[in-house]
Structure 1
Amino acid sequence: MPRSLRGLATISEDAVTESRRVIVVGSRADLAAVLSRLLKADRLDVEVAHVRWPWQARSARTGTATRIPLIRDETGKVIVGAAHWLAPDDSAATLRGEATVDDVVLFHGDVTGVRIEPTTAMPGLRAAALSPRMRPKRWVAGRAAQLGTEGALVVRDGVAGQRPVRRSTFYRHTEGWLSVR
């Protein structure tokens, strides 16, 4: 725990909806879990700061909140860093299907995978098909990214989904979240 945050109360994930400002100390997956909880409770008016390094603690306490786009999927899970659509198992080297960002076809056929990232400005997200070396080829910005496939593993902020899916969508929620910086 950073020294400048030691005097603050520690609350459980269930209690975040009762606060005015929440400081999340941890990974992007931890931040995404808190934002998912706030989304489900319809409490996107709560200011949220993220502290990954000790030098970020002071601005988490005193910084101002700015509303930025909230990117979620069809299950209500939020992404903060990046999401990936990958081949469902090690036996398949590529992902087969079609992905679109708004009305632009991102890929049709086989790719190594797809990376989806939230942006701090509108339209809210960007996505790119990945090269065999897992590098983004061409970024396409939009409000929503959709995938139709024979099977894909969804990885949200480094946390893999429990089972392969045939369809997946990430999109900008109607209301953004209050990011403290």
Structure 2
Amino acid sequence: MHILRCGDAATFAPLDSFRMTSGEAIPTKAQIDEALELASERLVVAGSDAALAAVMTRLMRTERLGTEVAFVRATASPVTNAYDLPHGEAAAELAATGTARQAVLIRDESGQAIVGQALWTGPEQGPLEGQVYADSEHVFTGKVPFVELLPSLEGPGVRVASGKKHGLRRRREWFDGRAVQLGTAGAIVVRDGVPAKRPVKRSSVYRHTEPMHLVRP
């Protein structure tokens, strides 16, 4: 087992006896590859959701999703919520002693893994105007503040809901699908908290053909 510490992420006492490689807050390909060479069967990623997404993207693109991955961060996040993971010292204890199990991995059409949450927003953080489908089911047509996409342990793999329009009190309606597609005049994709640099007119988020092997309760 080997630890990839991303940026200034905390690692906690249960991991003190294991070897560690330091990387950037969002690790580079070279830093991930170095840590994987030292990891043997299990890599512990200590860092943000975006750091874990970078590691999963690298594993996916290099066909190494059979590698066991544990995730340690100090506070709760979309990843810990999606996969029922602990945070803080409990996450470190799970990383050191827990069992890896298969878990759904979702990605987008650019080949980037999404491990906690993706958002579709309008340019310059404005409202999004367009049309979204989850498989063949219509999610919305029109203008909304944003669209949120999450991985799901249950069902086909991707959950999607549009943001509430200002002033409306009704509950958000969630849809499930294997693939969710957006058509729009312009949208910004935010992957695990990191916004893309350029707007797109089409975007898809879908379940990857292979699962990841995530250490989880």
Give, in whole Å, the separation in 2 of the partners of 1:73 and 1:113: 17
Say yes or no: does 1:2 pair with 2:21: no
Say yes or no: does 1:101 pair with 2:131: no
Give, in whole Å, the separation in 1 of the partners of 2:20 and 2:165: 43
> Which residue of structure 2 aligns with residue 88 of structure 1?
123
Give, in whole Å, the separation in 2 of the partners of 1:55 and 1:64: 14
Are the counterparts in 2 of residues 84 and 154 from structure 1 also a CA contact under 8 Å? yes
How far has the Cα of 1:20 moved from its partner?
1.2
> Which residue of structure 2 aligns with residue 168 of structure 1?
203
Amino acid at match of 2:144: V
Counting matched residue pairs gives 179
Match of 1:14 among 20, 23, 33: 33
Amino acid at match of 1:164: P
* Residues 93-138 of structure 1: CA deviation (Å, up to 9, x unaligned): 4211111110011111211110000011231110001113599721
Give, in whole Å, the separation in 1 of the partners of 2:189 and 2:104: 21
Say yes or no: does 1:23 pair with 2:44: yes
Higher relative CO (Cα under 8 Å, sequence separation at least 6) belongs to 1
Say yes or no: does 1:66 pair with 2:101: yes
Give, in whole Å, the separation in 1 of the partners of 2:156 and 2:205: 13
Q: Which moved more, 1:123-132 or 1:4-13?
A: 4-13
Give, in whole Å, the separation in 1 of the partners of 2:36 and 2:139: 37
Say yes or no: does 1:130 pair with 2:163: yes
Give, in whole Å, the separation in 1 of the partners of 2:63 and 2:34: 14
Q: What TM-score, normalized to structure 1?
A: 0.93
| % identity of equivalent residues | 45
* Residues 65-112 of structure 1: CA deviation (Å, up to 9, x unaligned): 11011100111111111100001115xx42111111100111112111
> Which residue of structure 2 aligns with residue 38 of structure 1?
59
Are the counterparts in 2 of residues 68 and 121 from structure 1 also a CA contact under 8 Å? no
Amino acid at match of 1:9: R
Q: Which moved more, 1:75-84 or 1:2-11?
A: 2-11
> Which residue of structure 2 aligns with residue 78 of structure 1?
113
Say yes or no: does 1:118 pair with 2:151: yes
When the two chains are superposed, the root-mean-square deviation of aligned CA atoms in Å is 1.7
* Residues 28-50 of structure 1: CA deviation (Å, up to 9, x unaligned): 11111110010011001001111
Match of 1:51 among 62, 68, 72: 72
How far has the Cα of 1:16 moved from its partner?
4.3
Q: Which moved more, 1:41-50 or 1:12-21?
A: 12-21
Are the counterparts in 2 of residues 16 and 38 from structure 1 also a CA contact under 8 Å? no
> Which residue of structure 2 aligns with residue 142 of structure 1?
177
**Unmatched runs of 5 consecutive residues or more in structure 2:** 1-10, 22-30, 74-87
